[in-house]
Amino acid sequence: MNPAGSAPELWRLDAARTRSVSPENPTGAAGGGARASTGTGAHAARLLGPGWKVSPSIELAPGATAVLADIAGPGVIRHFWLTTDRAVLRRLTLRVRWDDDPRPAIDLSLGHFFCNGWEELALFGSEMMVVAPAGGLNSYWPMPFHSRARLTLHNGSDRAVPVYYQVTYTEEDLPGDAARLHTRWRRSAPLGTPAIHTILDGVEGPGRYVGTYLAIQPGAPGWWGEGELKFYLDGDDEHPTLCGTGTEDYFGGAWNFDLAGTYRTYTSPYLGLHQVLPPEEIYRPHQRFGMYRWHVRDPICFRTGLRVTLQALGWGDSETYLPLEHADIATTAWYYA
């Protein structure tokens, strides 16, 4: 299995079995769905009885942690959908642990996992992530696990929130070297000197780097995206093996994302600039941006280690670069290792 590769061969008939965990089937057991007699929909279904949307969600109290799924392996999570109070996405923390590792491989806010690092909801469609109206959060990252997968959600806000969710997975045998999905979230605010934000470091291989989400507020007027992304592979020290030509170039755009004097948002299967706040302004220091890139067709493969950095660079004048030391930058990295 190649968890970072192309779409599955849908015509294959094999030994995999599909299961799904939700408030209507909290264990994912075969034939275990729609059996609830109590739940958040019980009053609405009181005239209909069991099987009629009795338990579509949970209520998560402030300060509480819910176990969304605790699944025995081997298997692969294929789709993770969740919706909740859109105003607190950055205060709800998703943690995922694989097998017997006590440390979560995924540990960050729902907002940053689903490429929504600012306070306003950003909709987009891509192969690996979809944020749909009016707050449907979808992940299609394949997540293999050998013995156990445990997903929890912590409410760090000051109010109770409803949580609707579904974790769909396949029970199937895996090769012993099947890689597990990890994320790493980091923020630099303000960035300081030198104006270099570390997206990822300290990762040992072998592995594949498969995704980047960037949320940036430049903190200076003018164009802010001259900085290069650098990938230091397998012992690279001062100089990287992979070096891009600019921030907008890395995310598939060009020429400042500026078309006829305005930023133009776009989304695609593998990359996009899906958020500009406020959208009617351009080259202002207080503006905020969100963009993503999935290295699915072009994975960054490493053998022994990986470090990833981003320069924050604008223009001091028409001929001189300006390091953006007052920038506010947050990133999420996805990788298999």
Sequence spans of domains, the chain: 17-171, 181-336
* pLDDT (0 to 100) of residue 277: 98
* pLDDT (0 to 100) of residue 245: 97
**Beta-bridge partner residues of 108:** 94
Alpha-carbon gap, residue 8 to 105, rounded angstroms: 24
**Beta-bridge partner residues of 131:** 124, 137
Alpha-carbon gap, residue 49 to 43, rounded angstroms: 10
- Say what the pTM is: 0.95
* pLDDT (0 to 100) of residue 109: 98
Per CATH, the homologous superfamily of domain 17-171 is Protein of unknown function DUF2961 (2.60.120.1390)
Alpha-carbon gap, residue 136 to 231, rounded angstroms: 32
**Cα radius of gyration (the chain):** 21
**Tokens 């949320």 identify what position?**
215
Q: pLDDT in tens for each of the 337 residues of the chain? A: 354 445 566 677 778 999 999 999 999 999 999 999 999 999 999 999 889 999 999 999 999 999 999 999 999 999 999 999 999 999 999 999 999 899 999 999 999 999 999 999 999 999 999 999 999 999 999 999 999 999 999 999 999 999 999 999 999 999 989 999 999 999 999 999 999 999 999 999 999 999 999 999 999 999 999 999 999 999 999 999 999 999 999 999 999 999 999 999 999 999 999 999 999 999 999 999 999 999 999 999 999 999 999 999 999 999 999 999 999 999 999 999 9
Alpha-carbon gap, residue 188 to 196, rounded angstroms: 9
Q: Name which of 114, 108, 170 is nearest 139 in CA terms.
A: 114
Token pair for 128: 């690996």
Cite the DSSP H helix spans in 217-336. 247-250
Token pair for 60: 């998560």
Task: Judge whether 17-171 and 181-336 match in fold.
Answer: yes
* pLDDT (0 to 100) of residue 4: 44
Judge if the upstream peptide bond of residue 194 is cis by omega within 30 degrees of 0: yes
* pLDDT (0 to 100) of residue 1: 39
Alpha-carbon gap, residue 279 to 276, rounded angstroms: 5
The domain made up of 181-336 is a member of CATH 1.10.40.30: no
Judge if the upstream peptide bond of residue 279 is cis by omega within 30 degrees of 0: no
How many CA atoms within 13 Å lie on the side-chain side of 246? 15
* pLDDT (0 to 100) of residue 11: 72
* pLDDT (0 to 100) of residue 237: 95
**How far out from the chain centre does Cα 291 lie?**
11
